[in-house]
Amino acid sequence: MTFWEKYHNFILLHFIVLLFGLTGVLGKLIDLNSYLLVWSRIGIAVIGIAVYLLSSKTNLKVDLKLIPKLIFAGIIIALHWITFFEAIKISNVSVALATFSSSTLFTALLEPFYNKRKVVLYEVILGVIIIFAILLIFNIDFSYKKGILMSLFSSFLASWFTVLNGSFIKVASAKLISFYELLTAFVLLSIGLVFISTAPLLELTTIKIGYILILALLCTSFAFIASISIMKTISAYTVTMTINLEPIYSILLAIIIWPMTERMPPLFYFSFSIILICLFLNAYLKKKNRI
């Protein structure tokens, strides 16, 4: 067995996580307000996933009782991405991604409610430690205050729809869930265009359009489909642990592209390290206790 045959799925997994990390960088590179950026991204991504579903002759039927729930989740996804990109634009990639890593805390609070299980003590402890780390970041530079709060809200929304999807997956496939959620988000955001100016879309350069296509097709459609594919050969635990590297990839890319504005004080990296340790420890303990 060659090196590629043995490790190509693991290489693909890291490439997927790199694409996820590239999302934040592209959000800053694309000179477009957050609403229009998300609308463009979701619209193109929906087309990409639809082409995949149709070409694979996937049955698009879902339980009618699930539709209202998917619509609700679609609203949450739209709000999550808008607030995520807005947090990046009003602060920077490093601050937004580090704060966004707090999703572990919100998941620990939401998951017991939806899955009707007891609150796990170590999740609460890790959540408190993450709050402490975020407070340290908050005190580094008060000019990032709005971005931190926006990223925290986005993190809460991301945790919410992740927990919701955990219950949806019991009655429908991941492909259909994501397709209908994104389709809902796109329809709702399209209706919202009536109330905002779409003039900035006419000012997009070829380069910016290229960035949007990369964001929608590579970082969304392809990453989504590939992440499902590798789950056939790589354990969910390995995938979860690797995806925790996303903020590291994103912050490193941002520092390379914008060394003057993205390089942060040592206290930031200390705080971010605490958050990362909590993320990996949470994933390890979940596997050990099979939660």
Residue 257 has pLDDT above 80, yes or no: yes
For residues 121-128, give the mean pLDDT. 82
Residue 161 has pLDDT above 70, yes or no: yes
Residue 237 has pLDDT above 60, yes or no: no
Is the C-alpha dihedral spanning 253, 181, 103, 11 positive or negative? negative
Identify whether the C-beta of residue 87 lies closer than 8 Å to the C-beta of residue 137: no
Is the C-alpha dihedral spanning 252, 256, 259, 262 positive or negative? negative
Percentage of the chain surpassing pLDDT 90?
25
For residues 251-256, give the mean pLDDT. 88
Indicate the length of the chain as a whole number: 291
What pLDDT is stored for residue 241 in this prediction?
A: 66
Predicted TM-score (pTM) of the model is: 0.86
Residue 226: which pLDDT band, with cuts at 50, 70 and 90?
A: confident
For residues 122-134, give the mean pLDDT. 83
What pLDDT is stored for residue 110 in this prediction?
A: 80
Between vectors from CA 134 to CA 128 and to CA 138, what angle results, nearest 5°?
A: 140
3-state percent breakdown (helix, strand, coil) of the chain, nearest 5: 85, 0, 15
Rounded distance, CA 76 to CA 169, Å?
17
Residue 119 has pLDDT above 90, yes or no: no
- The model's pLDDT over 88-103, given as tens digits with 9 standing for 90+, comes to 999 889 888 888 887 7
Identify whether the C-beta of residue 35 lies closer than 8 Å to the C-beta of residue 84: no
What pLDDT is stored for residue 187 in this prediction?
A: 95
- Give residue 251's identity as a one-letter amino acid code: I
Please name which of 249, 244, 251 lies closest in space to residue 276, comparing C-alpha atoms.
244
